[in-house]
Structure 1
Amino acid sequence: MGLSDILCIRDLQRAAEGTLSKTVREYFNDGAEDGIALADNISAFDRYKIRQRVLRDVSSIDSQKQAFGSTMSFPLAVAPSGMQCLAHPEGEQATARAATRAGVFMGVSTFATKSLEDVKRAGDEVGNNVYLLQLYIFKNRKTTEDLVRRAERAGYKGLLLTVDTPRLGNRYNMTRNDFKLPPHLRIPNFGEKKVGPFVQHLTRDTTTEDDSNINDDNVTWETLVWLRSITKMEIWLKGLSTAEDAELAVRSPATISGIIVSNHGGRQLESALPTLDSLSEVVATAKARSRDVQVWLDGGVRKGSDIFKALALGADGVLIGRIPLWGLAVGGEEGVLRALDILKAEFQHTMALAGCTTLSEISPSSLARRTASGVYAKL
């Protein structure tokens, strides 16, 4: 199947499944335990229907979105997914070029298979873009601080601090498949450091490591103040799902600029709330406290209409993680670009048929949801 034959993300996923090995495919695609949270993330979007409006001038659709002081072509960013060279030799560098060409921002994983500097340089080859480093807090704070300072020197605009992994989710596929990073790949953001038993397992590295270079399971709200003290970049929290945590985030003296409603793609907590269902309470709390805090959604997005539904429920934008991996597997840079172009076209198509010509016109009244009596009612 050529890229021109791929008409939707489902086509792309099917094509990728025929390209990736079973071990890599299941590592990318599966969720924690029985995959309930992953499946719920996707199915949550189907509980909402779009209320079509007619006889409106939709000859011009403006889908541009402002964030990090820059403009993206539509409200979508590439989520930070690790080890992209498992899908294609150019990995994160190919994704960076595609994201730049598509006009969407890119999150870069701490566990990328290309260094954070090389990823940005690859994108810079084709144009200017915004890069965001996904970050963990390690017990050895120096490890985290080194990554932050490198990202700032390289011109990254923000940190996506992942807060939902005090310990790794139960990912049965990794154990069953004895998943390891192939010997020809490495995690270059750490140089020669040995970081965490997870990476040690992935790389077959049996060298004695510094046990302080593992994810800190004692990260608290006070830790954010330390993080703020070492950087001027925007700090976004990735992994919030409740109003209670949103309240703490917007009140933090660390000055949080954004919240990403996420359950790690269903890869952490089994039976976690679907991110779309978590969105409303987070938005209501965060926006009531600070209109400047952006709230984005990660998890389950597979269509342009999903992006529309997320925005109608209050999200400022969405992130996608698995879709660029499928694009890489099928066609490298061009495969990722094809995926992004599909989502943008679908999103603008949905806007037009819903009678919305700008993002500000997308609102809860654009949606209906099935009631207990079985009929759909306007939100």
Structure 2
Amino acid sequence: MSNTETWHLELEPVDAWYFGDAGPYDMGEASQTESKTLFPPHAPTLVGALRAMLARAKGWDGRSRWNEGTNVDLRLEEVLGKDYWDLGQVRFEGPFLTRVQSNSDANEVMVPMPLHILGRMKELDTKEKTEVWEPAARLRPGNNAVLCDMGRVRLPKIASDKPERGLKEPEGIFVTVAGLEAILRGDLPATSEVVRSRDLWRGERRVGLERERESRTAKEGALYSPTYVRLKPGVRLTMGVSGLPEDWVSEKFTLPGLMPLGGEGRMASVERLEGAAMANAPLEAIAENGRMSVTLLTSALLTPDDTTVTWPRPHSALAENIPGTIVSACVGKPHYIGGWDSLKRKPVAPQPFVPAGSTYFLEDVDADLETLRQLHGSCIGRRQAFGFGQVALGVW
């Protein structure tokens, strides 16, 4: 019997992490000396590592198929799935960044800033050269439709009679749960609730080479220079896990202290959190006005199948379970997410995902409070078991 309780697992690097993107990293090529790490990592990277960790905790030897071996739990395939895309009965949420609050031991969750929030850099201290990203304006659907390549569309415009110049989209900007709640209500978040990526992690470039055994000199074409990611103190990655059997989540079941994660099998410590807060949504206002915004907290696979690359467009529905019609949207550039199938020993073809932070504006939303309550925090699109497509509902 599976458990509906969600575990929130906190992952902290022992040293530094490396998460490669979909680009080549082959010996002798120029990309070997220009490899950058991808952070935060996409869900399949963490899902694969956590599935392997849970399997090892239940007797898997790390080499054989999950149901083979003398001391292995024979339910591994049923619980954790049979291949790359089949997750069995387990479900994941995230990943999200968390940070220990300076005035307490509690963790605060951070998500990518919604793309309909614009801001500017503001200098706090000239001598110390410290800056913050200050939210300054919101985007909303324009009043008049404009003819473009998608037909007649109400393109986003700044929700102000006297818009400022020089405002920029929130690239590399995160917001806390408290700040997200303000955005969902139609307000701007406080500057104190905004965090830049440079305050959460930094890149760390390293150089390596292979030497000739005889001459002990550098081997031609064997120089590589990856960029690792080093988290700032108190910053973690968090992933939610649900659907585990009752005996797996009992007090007798203990998590391993360490697990390999990312490129080169670098280590991460694993701890269980009591829970992660979810932003509240103004559901009553949505039900009354019949308009709502849908913001992606995690990347979403919104293509209908593996061969089609078309995303939802204006004048259509966003997803089968989302009421209303798309009026306009603030959507980022696609993320092509693939992976590595360890059973077939070949890469998984990358697919275009709508990035987290993208926001859709809908109208003609006919739904009661209970329906909206179930939608808030749920997932849309495909591959939902990986945590893709988690949404937050707001007003506009």
TM range, smaller chain? under 0.3
Structure ID, larger Rg? 2
| Structure with more of its chain in strand, by fraction | 2
- TM-score, structure 2 normalization: 0.24
- TM-score, structure 1 normalization: 0.25
| Structure with more of its chain in helix, by fraction | 1
